[in-house]
Structure formats: C-alpha cells, structure tokens
C-alpha cells in the first residue's frame, strides 16, 4: 500500500467519551493503583489489601506511612489503612480467636484482586459534549479484593477453621475515599468476628489537631487500665499517648447489611488542624471509633515506626465494630464501611 503523508492519526480516545480512570498492577504483582483523570490516586497492596497511599489531584499524600513499613509481606504494614479481622487486638479468653496474632490475620494475608469498576454521574449520551469536563470530574473507580477461608495458609486455617468470604472494596473519587467490607459465613457453623479499618491520617502537627463528633460519647481508655469514661462536651485533643475505643452507635444486628437492619450512621468524626477542617470520617454500620496516637515512648519502642517523631504527623481514626462480637450464622453476612472526605 502506498503511504500517505496526510493519513489520519490514531484516535487517543473514543469520541465523546470522557477520560477514564487508569488502573495498573505493579510489575511484581504486589499492588494495584488507580488514578482518576483529574489526578487523584490510590494504591492498595495485595498483602492485607492495605491501602498504602491516597493522594489528591496535586499529589498531596493524605495517609501516613512509616518509613520502615514492611511492604514485602513479612509483617503487617505500619501505616496506610490496614484491615483488622477477625479480632481486634488479642483475646486469649475467647477460645475461637485465642491463638490468632494481634489484630487477626487479614492484614497479613494476601488478597486476590477481583477487578475494577467505574461509575459517573453524567454520561456523554445524556449530558452532551459540553459536559465532558464535569463528566471526568464525577468519575469514581472501585477496586475489589477478596479473601476466603480456602485461601488461608494451613497454619492460619488450623487456628481459625471457618468457611468465610471477605470482599473488601476501595472506592476513589475526587473528594473522598471509601473503604468497605462484606463478610459472609459460607460454612455450616456460626462464627464470631470483629472488624476495623486502622486508618492512619496524615497531619502537619498533632498538637494543633482537634477531633469533633465524639462529644459525650462513652469510651474505653486503654492507656488508663481500660476504664470506661465519657468524653466531655468538647473536642478531643492529643497531648500524650492516646488509645481510646469510642462507642458512637448501637451495635449492628446479627447478619445486618440491608438498610433496614444496619445501625443508623452517627455524626461524622471531624479532624481539624489549626481550626481548619482537614478530614471528615463517616461510618456506615460501624459502631466504634478508635482514636490512637503512640506519642513519644511507644513510638520509640516500635521497630517499624519511623521516623520516631512521626507521631507528630499522624492520627489514627479507626471505624470498626470491636466493642463486642458480631455473630454470623451460616448464610449470614455483615457489611460496614467508612468514607474519608478531605476539605
């Protein structure tokens, strides 16, 4: 065929279709990343389905990740959003989880990447060509990850011999990040579990941080002998080691997940720095919030916490269901989610 100097070039995109989110798997098959056309991004490590990065359109990181965090699967990740399941902390008195490691096995298990999906509030067919810019801005990308009883290693399976399926979804849009899970009992005997999203938020100066939305709520103070206290009618401030489990709503109904059975969402937790709102954390069917900062001495004692003064730049706001036990009968499922919004 004779070449033509003025032949048309290949199309870079389908005409009329707004730019789409880009999803890539790392060359070593260790992580999955998604980037919106407007620049917002998220990275999820398959080890634990741990979110290790969440950036806004300008590339500003919203999560704190230790410089010494182990990303090779050798231990749980220090920072980001580790996933706690099926036990919060340790509980030697509870036979079903007595042998499990701190915070269970989900954060140290390798998840399977199940795929991605996108959604948008406008479509070219209904919005018209002039709406393409707004169309791109309204895109959301969802990444799904899975873990099941059959996928656990033999030793973990021996310690927790239940048939379950856990689907963990990470939803990114321009203004927020939502992480949610669905746990189902696929076996023939009931099991009890706890879940929590151990979110490390990045702040500039912890001494200038105030946390609102927990006023008058009951909490367990793990730094003070696990005493039950009530938060005064004022914001929470961090002035030393802090480890509190707040109850913000009634416990979910067994097998809940539908809108009629879920706990009603309470007021969101708002994080302010120097008087300005920097994060808003909303819970869906998760009745507890853990507020944690290791401060000076505890940070020094953790080998994977670097830099040692990094506690000044992080704050854990951790939605979960950890005040008791969620019992799932065969065939039942439980779901919960958090949505973190930036100012």
- As annotated, the binding site for substrate includes 78, 102, 107
Extract the tokens encoding 26: 């790392």
List, as residue ranges, the binding site.
78, 102, 107
Question: Are the beta carbons of 310 and 64 closer than 8 angstroms?
Answer: yes
Question: Are the beta carbons of 169 and 61 closer than 8 angstroms?
Answer: no
Which candidate in 40, 120, 273, 318 is catalytic? Answer: 318
CA distances (Å), 62 to each of 2, 89, 306, 307, in order? 55, 25, 17, 17
The Cα–Cα gap between 234 and 150 comes to: 47
Which candidate in 47, 103, 120, 198 is catalytic? Answer: 198
With CA atoms as reference, report the closest residue to 94 among 327, 262, 294: 327
- Asked if 198 is an active-site residue, the reply is yes
With CA atoms as reference, report the closest residue to 79 among 281, 287, 311, 274: 311
The Cα–Cα gap between 192 and 51 comes to: 25
Question: Are the beta carbons of 96 and 191 closer than 8 angstroms?
Answer: yes
Q: List the catalytic residues.
A: 198, 318
């Amino acid at each position: 065929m004779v070449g033509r100097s003025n032949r048309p070039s290949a199309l870079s995109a389908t005409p009329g279709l707004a730019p789409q989110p880009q999803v890539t798997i790392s060359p070593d098959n260790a992580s999955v990343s998604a980037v919106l056309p407007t620049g917002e991004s998220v990275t999820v490590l398959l080890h634990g389905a741990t979110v290790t990065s969440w950036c806004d359109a300008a590339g500003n990181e919203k999560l704190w990740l230790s410089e010494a965090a182990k990303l090779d699967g050798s231990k749980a990740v220090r920072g980001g959003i580790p996933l706690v399941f099926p036990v919060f902390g340790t509980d030697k008195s509870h036979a079903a989880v007595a042998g499990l490691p701190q915070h269970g096995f989900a954060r140290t298990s390798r998840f399977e990447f199940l795929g991605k999906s996108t959604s948008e509030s406008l479509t070219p067919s209904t919005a018209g060509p002039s709406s393409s810019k707004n169309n791109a801005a309204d895109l959301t990308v969802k990444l799904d990850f899975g873990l099941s009883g059959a996928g656990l290693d033999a030793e973990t399976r021996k310690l927790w011999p239940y048939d379950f399926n856990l689907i963990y979804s990470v939803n990114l849009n321009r203004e927020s990040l939502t992480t949610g899970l669905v746990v189902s009992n696929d076996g023939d005997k009931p099991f009890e579990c706890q879940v929590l999203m151990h979110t490390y938020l990045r702040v500039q100066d912890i001494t200038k941080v105030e946390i609102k939305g927990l006023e008058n709520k009951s909490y367990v103070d793990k730094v003070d002998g696990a005493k039950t206290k009530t938060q005064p009618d004022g914001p929470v401030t961090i002035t030393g080691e802090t480890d509190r489990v707040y109850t913000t709503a009634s416990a979910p109904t067994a097998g809940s997940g539908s809108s009629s059975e879920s706990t009603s969402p309470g007021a969101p937790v708002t994080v302010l720095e120097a008087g300005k709102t920097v994060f808003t954390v909303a819970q869906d069917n998760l009745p507890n919030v853990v507020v944690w900062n290791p401060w000076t001495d505890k940070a020094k004692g953790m080998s994977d916490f670097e830099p040692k003064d990094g506690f000044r730049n992080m704050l854990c706001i951790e939605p979960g269901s950890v005040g008791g036990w969620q019992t799932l009968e065969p065939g039942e499922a439980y779901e919960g989610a958090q949505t973190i919004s930036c100012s």
